[in-house]
A and B are shown apart, each in its own frame.
Chain A
Amino acid sequence: MREVTCELCPRACVIPEGGAGDCRVRVNLGGKLRATTYGRPSAIHIDPMEKKPLYHFRPGSPVFSIATAGCNLHCLNCQNWQLSQRGGEEMETLYRADPPDLIKAAREEGCRSIAYTYSDPIVFYEYVYDSSELAHREGLANVFITAGYINRKPLRKLCRVLDAANVDLKAFDEDFYRRVSDASLRPVLDALVTLREEGVWLEVTNLLIPTLNDDLAMIRRMVRWLRDELGEGTPLHFSRFQPQYRMRNLPPTPAEALDRARREALDGGLKYVYIGNIPGHEGGSTYCPTDGTRLIGRTGFWITENRLTADGRCPTCNEEIPGVWE
């Protein structure tokens, strides 16, 4: 039996010949590990950058977004489970698109960025890497939307070709990761630090689930860690939970819980804290941390106002707002 050990993510799956890793899409064929969804995306969309969510990276621009089947996490509340919790052979749609095809399509659709998103792009790592490398050569940016459950070595290599990332930090609690996502927190924190060290533009999302990860003391610990390890200018998005997949027993997050979390994070020293999945909420806009001027107004994923100067400053007090504003 020619077993192999996958070293891409912390699961370190030992895969027998003919078997697949926990992600379902990395398969041992004849003693060689094969990335079965390379060049075979199952979702291709053009989204606004705000949907990722990335609020400080090319605001308002369309981003060519792709995903393949599979995921290395198994969150009970997954909102893309039809894609993430299946293998490629189970997909209703399977496109053929090698990296040059992707870049060509993105250009034709007027997108200056490509997002690897929806499921966790870690599991189609090689496809992301090759596409990103080519995208850079063609002047396109790459954004990586992930839960960050990846080993350091492959992530460092990938950072060479990434421009921005949003990491879904699911909770600041090992027990939550174990029970809800069948994973662990530590590698995710390591990934956040690596992305910061490598200079990839970084934003963090925390989906607030009633009773499971909305404890203010835990949020306070998370905010302190983010401020100290990643910096006070790191945007944090508190996102509203909607019951789905295997977690239909809990209600949507009340707006008040999101407000409380946002207030806690602002008080804890983070400068850009957002509320997501509540269209029209004031927490969806960007404010100057010095004088409170509304800099970018948003309703849902749409920008209603952009008062940032061309070099990314507050027009009132000249405060520099971190981000990629080109």
Chain B
Amino acid sequence: MRNDTHRDGTEREWRRTGRRRFLGLLSGLGAAGLALPFPSVARGPRERDLKEADFYRPHDLAG
């Protein structure tokens, strides 16, 4: 059970420190989240690349 009659400067300081820590933790989590790759659409079925054909060449002749 809390004893409010003994509230003083030390207790206020303790509360500020607690809030700073909590906010620091939140911002740390936020930064870490941003650093992760964007959660992707890649979770569902994904179409493969189309197979490259044999027997062709770039058409680089004039005309």
A interface list, Cβ under 8 A from B: 2-8, 14-15, 26-27, 29, 31-36, 38-39, 125-127, 129, 151, 153-154
Contacts and interface: CB of A to CB of B under 8 A. Distances in A.
Contact of B56 (A8, A39, A127): A8
B39 to A, nearest CB: 27
A15 B52 CA distance: 14
B59 A3 contact: yes
Interface string B7-20: 00000000000000
B54 interface: yes
B43 interface: no
Interface of B: 50-60
B56 A126 contact: no
Contacts of A151: 55
A4 B57 contact: yes
A31 B59 CA distance: 9
19 contacts: A2-B58, A3-B59, A3-B60, A4-B57, A4-B58, A5-B57, A6-B53, A7-B55, A7-B56, A8-B53, A15-B59, A27-B50, A29-B50, A32-B52, A33-B53, A34-B52, A38-B50, A39-B51, A154-B54
B54 A8 contact: yes
Residue among B51, B53, B55, B60 having the largest count of chain A Cβ atoms under 10 Å: B53
Nearest to A151: B55
B59 A34 contact: no
Q: Which 6 A-B pairs have the closest CB atoms?
A: A38-B51, A3-B59, A34-B50, A33-B53, A33-B56, A7-B55
A31 B58 contact: yes
B56 A6 contact: yes
B35 to A, nearest CB: 31
Contacts of A35: 50-53
Nearest to A25: B53
Nearest to A38: B51
Contacts of A14: 59
B52 to A, nearest CB: 6
Contacts of B54: 8, 125-126, 129, 154
Contacts of A125: 53-55
Residue among A4, A27, A33, A39 having the largest count of chain B Cβ atoms under 10 Å: A33
A207 B45 CA distance: 45
Contacts of B51: 34-35, 38-39, 126-127
A34 B55 CA distance: 11
B20 to A, nearest CB: 53
Contacts of A39: 51
